[in-house]
């Protein structure tokens, strides 16, 4: 089977699918992974075909100003650019589409137009539940009814972000227009299986999820059999007790623009010293130094 995996976002949104793709190839399938061009070496190192997507989320986030309104505008622009790239990647041939959380709202329409089966593979438990609030709302529980309401609201925010991109993509693909509300009702009525790349050791499967919403365990990035850590890191790990790892991934993008990165680094180092533990800092998009 020829499988196309589509992923967009930061390193953590893309890298886990390289490990999944490598395992699928071991099982006898042919796997391509579509992502931003900066991830081409990562994809090819896993032995997968690379297909480029045009949207670069880091470009949209760097230099952002104006608060939430500007962030929403940039995110919507990202999705409008992403849609045609997804369609072009799928048009190169696939028997099955595997869609990440960031590509699924658009990829489903490409699958519909090209009559290709698809499967959603999010990396977060993003279906509404009363057990906990949605991942975008923090960790404070709002109660079972409040958590479910917040989860539904978060999906509506996503619908709004993708609305223009979906409308333009459907027109490009020759599909009839459909309202956001109709798409939401179609999604709510869909009983399709969704496989979440999340370990139930981290987050237990919600007790109120419908059948077919499954936690299948973490997918890890592909690692070459002969891969080794940098010697300096190996020596550090061997020189004392296990360190605490500190990293913010892409969540603090642009922190270096106004000295925030330096202050954030100082806070982290002070906390490690106060706790009297060793630490490993991941620079990430925050620019920790």
Neighbouring-strand partners of residue 31: 3
Using alpha carbons, list the distances in angstroms from residue 214 to 47, 125, 150, 258, 276. 28, 9, 21, 42, 40
Spatial distance between the Cα atoms of 136 and 213, rounded to a whole number of angstroms: 19
Question: Can you give the pLDDT at residue 217?
Answer: 96
Structure tokens belonging to residue 39: 């991830």
**Residue listed under structure tokens 């060793």:** 278
The residue ranges of DSSP E strands in the chain, in sequence order, are 2-6, 30-36, 49-53, 96-99, 118-120, 194-196, 213-215, 244-246, 279-281
What are the tens digits of pLDDT across the range 171-204? 999 999 999 889 888 888 888 999 999 999 999 9
Residue 52 DSSP SS3: strand
Spatial distance between the Cα atoms of 181 and 159, rounded to a whole number of angstroms: 9
Please give the share of the chain, as a percent, with pLDDT higher than 70. Answer: 93
Kindly state the average pLDDT of the residues 104-123.
96
- pLDDT of residue 132 exceeding 80: yes
Domains of the chain by residue range: 2-215, 231-281
Residue 165 DSSP SS3: helix
**Residue listed under structure tokens 């533990």:** 277
Closest residue by Cα to residue 33 from 82, 94, 81: 94
First and final CA of the chain: distance in angstroms? 45
Question: Can you give the pLDDT at residue 175?
Answer: 96
Residue 262 DSSP SS3: helix
| Architecture of the domain whose range is 2-215 | 3-Layer(aba) Sandwich (3.40)
Kindly state the average pLDDT of the residues 108-125.
96
């Amino acid at each position: 089977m020829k499988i196309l995996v589509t992923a967009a976002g930061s390193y953590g949104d893309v890298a886990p699918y390289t490990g999944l793709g490598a395992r699928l190839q071991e099982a006898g399938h042919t796997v391509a992974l579509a992502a931003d061009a900066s991830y081409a070496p990562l994809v090819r190192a896993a032995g997968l075909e690379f297909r480029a997507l045009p949207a670069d989320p880091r470009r949209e986030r760097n230099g952002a100003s104006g608060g939430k309104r500007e962030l929403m505008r940039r995110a919507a622009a990202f999705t409008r650019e992403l849609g045609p790239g997804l369609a072009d990647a799928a048009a190169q041939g696939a028997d099955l589409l595997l869609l990440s959380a960031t590509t699924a709202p658009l990829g489903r329409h490409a699958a519909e137009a090209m009559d290709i089966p698809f499967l959603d593979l999010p990396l977060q438990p993003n279906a509404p539940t009363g057990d906990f609030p949605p991942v975008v709302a923090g960790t404070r529980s709002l109660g079972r009814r409040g958590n479910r309401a917040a989860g539904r609201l978060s999906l509506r925010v996503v619908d709004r972000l993708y609305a223009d991109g979906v409308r333009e993509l459907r027109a490009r693909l020759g599909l009839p227009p459909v309202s956001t509300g109709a798409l939401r009702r179609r999604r709510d009525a869909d009983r399709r299986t969704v496989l979440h790349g999340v370990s139930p050791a981290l987050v237990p499967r919600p007790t109120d999820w419908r059948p077919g919403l499954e936690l299948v365990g973490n997918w890890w990035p592909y690692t070459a059999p002969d891969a080794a850590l940098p010697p300096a890191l190996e020596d550090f790990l061997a020189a004392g007790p296990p360190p605490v790892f500190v990293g913010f991934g892409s969540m603090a993008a642009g922190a270096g623009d106004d000295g925030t990165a330096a202050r954030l680094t100082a806070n982290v180092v002070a906390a490690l010293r106060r706790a009297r533990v060793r630490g490993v800092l991941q620079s990430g998009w925050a620019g920790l130094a």
